[in-house]
Structure 1
Amino acid sequence: MQVDYADVLRVWREADAIPEIEHAWLFDHLMPIGGDPNGPILEGWTLLSALAAHTERLRLGVMVTSNRFRPPAVLAKIATTVDVVSGGRLDFGIGVGSRPDHPLARREYAGHGLPYHDTAHAVGSLAESCTVIRRLWTEEEPFDFQGKYHRLTGAFGNPKPVQRPHPPILVGGRSSATLRVAAEHADLWNIPGGDLDDVVKRSALLDRYCTELGRDPASVTRSIHLPVSYDHPGPTLDAIGAAVDAGFRHVVLGLPAPYPDGVARWVADELVTPSS
């Protein structure tokens, strides 16, 4: 948000040439949730496909897709297209959708004619969506799906994603209900940083849910999103070190706009290399 395509493309192309940076992410909002509320913002998946076509190495994704915006079968088709365009570099991020306590996020639903259901509906819908999307990516025959929140007749995906059996699924969120969905469906789980003690407790809760399902908790990679200050990188460095020590091996650094010249190289030199 508050940036144009040329700026995002510049940063991603620069990052694509820096081996220390393994992955790059967009977010999924239709109106800005910070800065000028009427400022520019591009649709995340369309932009991701364009950036996939202009990069060669970076793994890429949306951190995270709002399950409230698109029907799951449509989202599965969009994600497959990005995996094909990228040559199999997609990490598929998905979550419940905007928090109910964020007024700037809530307005984008009314502004686009989209319903905003309660949390129980949203979490149940997310779980069914993960099932539908995985089946569309992997099943070789059309199928029907009759869930509580989603119903499909003759559902089928062709082509399949490049990655087999399917792109890694990243579920984002911190609520216990979302963690249950992550325990069942996620290859990676992402949580915003901040209160590390709470983050660690949430990770332990995910461990418990995985165990209850008969799943090895270590099979879910722990991912954390940390904000970056260009003027004061020290706190970010400290946060990276603490997160890694707590078992988070997948670190996403949030870069504020406007992006300085050479910002990807700066990230590698000032934040990634010292941390490793």
Structure 2
Amino acid sequence: MPRSPGFGIMTAPTQVGYDDVLRVWREADAIPEIGHAWLFDHLMPIGGDPDGPAYEGWTLLSALAARTRRLRLGLLVTSNRFRPPAMLAKIATTVDIVSGGRLDFGIGAGSRPGHPLARREYEAHGLPFHGFEHSVESLAEACTIIRRLWTEPEPFDFAGAHHRLTGAFGNPKPVQSPHPPILIGGRSSATLRVAAEHADLWNIPGGDIADVTARSALLDRYCAGIGRDPGSITRSVHLPASYDEPGATRAAIGEALDAGFRHFVLSLPAPYPEGAAQWAADELIKPFA
């Protein structure tokens, strides 16, 4: 019997104030139907005013972790391009400790070059932007490094094609044992191969249910190819919510449920009205409870 679906919300930390995000998260923290909450990982806006505010995701996540008590939390998803993996492992460990073991570690290859508002943040912050093949290979190495830093009791060296570490060691370790769940986001075939090896959860943006279903089936095949049970990876989908047309989101949830998805991230558009989290619970989640 498939397990019951779990629902969460996403508040993109851009074009809003810190107090706005905090208000929604603290409201959600008190609503049992909402099990998790997410930010995204962009250094500049990718929608709306290109010169508007955008908060650094992990810093904000740590602040929200300290102000909530129940929600699982994470970034959907961390750009592996922004931070060296050993540094990222340390950051994530810190958030897991601050939250008391509530982190879901979301990571992906990073923005594709076809999105100009996402691409500009690299040059604006002095970050290199390599091709997609490079970024996916780097993601695979990063997942290996991060997992080892979270779990290995002794220092180790790592010599990869894209990352080299000498005397790498993680102390303290995360609260969660053996480590926080790893969520890998993306739809490309190359990313799905990484997910098959490393992910506890796999997330894809919704919209085209035929494509979402086909990508999930491809992940099944990649898991089978390496001898992994496809059922060991929870299927997660990211869906936009509309305050004016909740029926469209409910229909998308129903389609994804039929396709085997059990982890739902509902993106709440800003500005957030009063009671936005309760609205999500009442209009979008409770019909499937």
Q: Do structure 1's residue 9 and structure 2's residue 22 form an aligned pair? A: yes
Q: CA deviation at 1:275?
A: 2.3
Q: Which secondary structure does the structure 2 equivalent of 1:167 belong to?
A: coil
- Could you tell me which residue of structure 2 aligns to residue 212 of structure 1? 225
Identity %, equivalent residues: 79
- Could you tell me which residue of structure 1 aligns to residue 103 of structure 2? 90
* Structure 2 spans left out of the alignment, 5+ residues: 1-13
- Could you tell me which residue of structure 2 aligns to residue 69 of structure 1? 82
* Per-residue CA distance 1:160-195 (angstroms, 9 max, x = gap): 000000000000000000000000000000000011
One-letter amino acid of the structure 2 residue matched with residue 137 of structure 1: W
Which residue, 14, 31, 35 being the options, matches 2:44?
Answer: 31
Q: Do structure 1's residue 19 and structure 2's residue 17 form an aligned pair? A: no
* Per-residue CA distance 1:79-117 (angstroms, 9 max, x = gap): 000000000000000000001110000000000000000
Q: CA deviation at 1:202?
A: 0.3
Distance (Å, rounded) in 2 between the aligned partners of 1:262 and 1:194: 26
* Per-residue CA distance 1:8-60 (angstroms, 9 max, x = gap): 00000000000000000000000000000000111000000000000000000
One-letter amino acid of the structure 1 residue matched with residue 226 of structure 2: L
User: Which has the bigger relative contact order, CA under 8 A and spacing at least 6?
Assistant: 2
One-letter amino acid of the structure 1 residue matched with residue 145 of structure 2: V
Distance (Å, rounded) in 2 between the aligned partners of 1:100 and 1:253: 25
Distance (Å, rounded) in 2 between the aligned partners of 1:150 and 1:249: 34
Which residue, 170, 173, 178 being the options, matches 2:183?
Answer: 170
Distance (Å, rounded) in 2 between the aligned partners of 1:179 and 1:100: 19
- Could you tell me which residue of structure 2 aligns to residue 47 of structure 1? 60
Distance (Å, rounded) in 1 between the aligned partners of 2:92 and 2:241: 28
- Could you tell me which residue of structure 2 aligns to residue 107 of structure 1? 120
Q: Do structure 1's residue 256 and structure 2's residue 269 form an aligned pair? A: yes
Q: CA deviation at 1:204?
A: 0.2
Q: Do structure 1's residue 238 and structure 2's residue 251 form an aligned pair? A: yes
One-letter amino acid of the structure 1 residue matched with residue 33 of structure 2: E
- Could you tell me which residue of structure 2 aligns to residue 150 of structure 1? 163
Distance (Å, rounded) in 1 between the aligned partners of 2:136 and 2:247: 37
Q: Which secondary structure does the structure 1 equivalent of 2:254 belong to?
A: helix
TM-score norm. by structure 2 comes to 0.95
Q: Which secondary structure does the structure 2 equivalent of 1:211 belong to?
A: helix
* Per-residue CA distance 1:116-147 (angstroms, 9 max, x = gap): 00011000000000000000000000000000
Q: Which secondary structure does the structure 2 equivalent of 1:174 belong to?
A: coil
**RMSD of aligned Cα (Å):** 0.4
* Structure 1 spans left out of the alignment, 5+ residues: none
Distance (Å, rounded) in 1 between the aligned partners of 2:207 and 2:245: 16
Q: Do structure 1's residue 198 and structure 2's residue 233 form an aligned pair? A: no
- Could you tell me which residue of structure 1 aligns to residue 7 of structure 2? none
